[in-house]
Structure 1
Amino acid sequence: MKARGLLFSNAESARLLGYRLTFNKRSHCTPGVAYANVVHSSLSAVEGVLYTLEDHRALNVMDGFEGTPVRYSRECMLLHTASAPKSAWIYVANPAFVEDDLLPESNYLAHLMAGAQYLSPEYLAMLHAQPCRPSVVTLGDSGLLYNA
């Protein structure tokens, strides 16, 4: 969030129940490369970081990084945190960009694992075990990595 110039007042561990993490969102510029997506899975949960943004206009900035509304849609879902369930925005890959047999790049997995302090040891181990491709960096005009 900081690298994207977004200010937040809180960051906490969160779980999205009834979904699992998958890497099936196709890159629009690098063949065979996947980005994260969530799919229904009744006995699973996705772990991550819930950020409380200081300004609601920051969602428009996030949408640009995530390729919304074309590549991802932004959907309101219920997340479970240590303090209470909370509604939050989640990015879900649009079906036109979903494809099987893709792999994330190593730098993308490293980005997800940078939130290790918010993830369970089991979830972090699952991320470490995820097969990946060597990284090919795509930088935007500002020098930030975009979700291509």
Structure 2
Amino acid sequence: MVWYFAYGSNMNPARLVEARLRPEGVEVASRVCGRLDDWRLAFNKLRQTSPPSGAGNIVMSPGETVYGTLNEMPEAGLAVLDRYEGVTTGQYRREIVKVVRSDTGQPVEAVTYVALKLGADDLRPLREYLAHLLAGRDLLPADYCARLERQGLAD
């Protein structure tokens, strides 16, 4: 089993589990809130939408924090996610990060994805995309959700 840290649209369990993993025979064994220190959430991955918008990414940033969902799953799930995240086409790369479990306070090693092909730093997500992030509100801290809700939108 491996931990996968989702900070973007894969925080939505309907997207991650129902649409991506389960059709490939992969189940998530557990899902908890995780905190990634010294990184920040950015929407600097260009999405070819109308209007142009930003997808989620994380950027090293001392003193900042990104919350997300830690998803425990079989290692086979990473191959599925690699396809969706465009690892072979150079869109994202896997990164091993230390994430603190909110339920135990203990750090775990987790796989996450960091964007390689970036757009401008001032990109904004579409309302529909941001809704995927907010679908993780069952686990995320209320103040982090409030911050996401204040995020400027492309539409």
Note whether the superposition's TM-score is higher than 0.5: yes
Q: Describe the SS at the equivalent of 1:64.
A: helix
1:91 corresponds in structure 2 to 113
Per-residue deviation, 1:99: 2.3
Q: Describe the SS at the equivalent of 2:29.
A: strand
Structure 2 regions of 5+ residues with no counterpart? 1-15
How far, CA to CA, are the matches of 2:153 and 2:93 in structure 1? 24
1:66 corresponds in structure 2 to 85
How far, CA to CA, are the matches of 1:99 and 1:63 in structure 2? 24
CA RMSD of aligned residues (A): 1.4
- Whether contact under 8 Å (2:39, 2:66) holds in the other structure is yes
- Whether contact under 8 Å (2:123, 2:154) holds in the other structure is no
1:76 corresponds in structure 2 to 96
**Percent identity between the two aligned chains:** 34
Per-residue deviation, 1:66: 1.3
1:137 corresponds in structure 2 to none
2:126 corresponds in structure 1 to 105
How far, CA to CA, are the matches of 1:25 and 1:45 in structure 2? 19
Structure 1 regions of 5+ residues with no counterpart? 135-148
Query: Which amino acid is 2:149 matched to?
Result: H
Deviation beyond 3 Å, 4+ runs, structure 1:
none
**Paired residues, what number?**
131
Q: Describe the SS at the equivalent of 2:84.
A: helix
* TM-score normalized by the length of structure 1: 0.83
**For residues 92-127 of structure 1, what are the alpha-carbon distances to aligned partners after superposition, in whole Å with 9 as ceiling and x for unaligned?**
110x32422211111110000000011111100010
User: Whose RCO is larger (CA < 8 A, sep 6+)?
Assistant: 2
Query: Which amino acid is 2:113 matched to?
Result: Y
